Amino acid sequence: MLIVILGSLAHDTGVLGHFGKSVEQRPEVNQTDADANAELKESESWAKAACQAAAGEQLKAALTASFLYDDFAWIDGKNAHVMGSVDIPNGIWTKLRYRYACELAARGQGRWNVTKIVVESR
C-alpha cells in the first residue's frame, strides 16, 4: 500500500520526470546531434594524429618522440588547428620539450593534410 502511495506522489509531483510520462509524451533523443558530436571528436583525433606525425618528422625523431596529453584541436569549417607538446630524448638521460602547432586542411571523410607546422623549443 505504501509503494502505491509513493508512486502516485512521485507521479503527481513530477519527481520521476520522463519515467512518469507515457511513451507518446517522452521527448526523443536527437541522434543526429549525438552522431555529429561523435564525428567531430573523430575528426579532431585524425587532425591530432596528422599533426603529431608532421611534428615527429620535422624533429627527425618520429620513433623516439613522446607526445604529451596536453594537445588540443579545434575545427573551423574546412580548417583545423592543433597545438601540443612533445618530449625528445637528447641522448644524455634527459629530454628536451618542444611545443608544436599545425594548421590543417580538410582532405575528406574526417581526414586532414598539414598545411603549416611550427615547432619551437620550450
Check residue 91 and give its pLDDT.
Answer: 80
What domain range includes position 83? 34-121
The enclosing H or E element of 36 equals helix 31-58
**15 lies in some domain:** no
**41 lies in some domain:** yes
Mean pLDDT estimate for the chain: 79
Q: 48-57, pLDDT tens digit by residue?
A: 999 999 999 9
**46 lies in some domain:** yes
> Residue 97 pLDDT > 60, yes or no?
yes
**114 lies in some domain:** yes
**17 lies in some domain:** no
Q: What cell does 111 get?
A: 581526414
- Measuring CA to CA, which residue among 114, 68, 116 is closest to residue 88? 68
**24 lies in some domain:** no
8 A C-beta contact, residue 97 and residue 86: yes
> Residue 104 pLDDT > 70, yes or no?
yes
8 A C-beta contact, residue 47 and residue 111: no
User: CA 9 from chain center: how many Å?
Assistant: 43
Residue 75's CATH number: 3.10.450
Check residue 32 and give its pLDDT.
Answer: 85
Check residue 58 and give its pLDDT.
Answer: 93
Q: 25-39, pLDDT tens digit by residue?
A: 545 546 688 888 888
Domain total for the chain? 1
